[in-house]
Structure 1
Amino acid sequence: MKEALLVIDVQNEYFSGKLPVTYPQGSLVNILQAMDAARAAEVPVVVIQHASHAPDAATFRHGTYGWELHPDVKKRPHDLLIEKTLPGSFTGTALDTWLRNRGISSLTIAGYMTQMCCDTTARQAFHNGYGVKFLSDATGTLNVTNQAGTIRDADLHRAVLVTQQMRFSQVMTTAEWIRSLNLVYS
């Protein structure tokens, strides 16, 4: 089974913008470790970047500092950069074609936001027939309050992980995933 790592929306908006990731601590370090381990194991790395092309967009406006990839992600090698405008990385992009052309049948999810773009992409991947792994400590979120209520970052993150494990993904830590790479690709 050929695998790829998807690094979703690790952009400045989540560090210095209006949507700072607060949970789990250390998620960026784990994302970078996953990228480095994938490269060492010759597992393709796909970096996905969210963009809004609306001139008055409050977040992720194309070309702004918040839209830019985090510098530590930007400087690491990747095999493909995908721009998306909706939560799912497959919607309106060439991701599925690129993966299928390379015989990739399993995807590992890392990045931001756990409950939005990571969750949506994992579900899309599952629905498209891919095996999916979801890195519990290399995805992250924040406290959310809206008309439906308030949920704390840790509770939101855990709820998505539990749901992912029920049907869509194999939830694992970055260290567990790296060990699995060493078993398969060494």
Structure 2
Amino acid sequence: MKTALLVIDVQNGMFQEGEAVYKGEGLLRKINKVIDQARLYQMPIFYIQHNEPAGWPLEFGKEGWEIHPEIKPCNQDVIIQKKSPDSFLNTTLEAELNKKEVEHVILMGIQTEVCVDTTCRRAFSLGYKVTLVSDAHSTWDSDDLTAQGIINHHNRILRWFADVCSSDEVVGSMGKSDCVRSKG
């Protein structure tokens, strides 16, 4: 089964001083670990880049919109532009995955309860096998929940739509059989 890696919205604007995504430095390390392993196995890598209107942190073409330099795409990687939480809605993502005959997507990135959640559910609904990297997606505290609480909740809920595996499990399973669905 051909697999691709989706890196969702890991852009400079998500790491602004004083408003950085929860555990951002650790997130970047885990994402890079998975990217490095994917490159080793020549897995297609898709970077999803969110576009916001003027004045917003991810304003198209501005520094905050750029993909974080610690996970810089290579020439063979595909960058998909989006304007909604759904990485498939009004984008070229599905067509690009089809061109590469991808049947399984591994998801990582930002923001857990918005773009990661929506893309996970949509990929499942479109018939892809989905793996969510449980320790390589993040968010911010809300008025009601901590960022860690939101991440934990989504790791439990999204098991209905994806295999939920740690970055170590995903890295260890590349080139072998698929990650086994975590229980819990």
Indicate whether the TM-score tops 0.5: yes
Q: Return 5+ residue gaps in structure 2 as ranges.
A: 179-184
Match of 1:68 in 2: 66
Residue 77 (structure 1) shift: 5.1
**One of 76, 79, 95 as aligned partner of 2:77:** 79
Asked if residue 94 in structure 1 is aligned to residue 88 in structure 2, the reply is: no
Distance of 1:62 and 1:18 partners within structure 2: 22
Q: Is the contact made by 1:23 and 1:142 (CA closer than 8 Å) also made in structure 2?
A: no
Q: Is the contact made by 1:23 and 1:153 (CA closer than 8 Å) also made in structure 2?
A: no
Residue 79 (structure 1) shift: 2.0
- The structure in which a higher percent of residues are strand is 1
Match of 1:157 in 2: 151
Identical positions, percent: 33
Q: Give every structure 1 segment of 4 or more consecutive aligned residues whose post-TM-superposition deviation is greater than 4 Å.
A: 75-78
CA displacement 1:77-133 (0-9 Å, x = unmatched)? 552100111011001101101111221000000111111111110100000000000
Residue 23 (structure 1) shift: 4.0
Q: Return 5+ residue gaps in structure 1 as ranges.
A: none
Residue 65 (structure 1) shift: 1.4
Residue 25 (structure 1) shift: 6.2
Aligned-pair Cα RMSD in Å: 1.8
Aligned residue for 1:159, secondary structure, equals helix
Structure 1 length normalisation: TM-score?
Answer: 0.89
What is the count of residue pairs matched by the alignment?
Answer: 178
Aligned residue for 1:10, secondary structure, equals coil
Cα separation, partners in 2 of 1:5 and 1:17, compared to 1, 3 Å: same
Counterpart of 2:45, as a letter, is: V
Structure 2 length normalisation: TM-score?
Answer: 0.90
Cα separation, partners in 2 of 1:24 and 1:176, compared to 1, 3 Å: farther
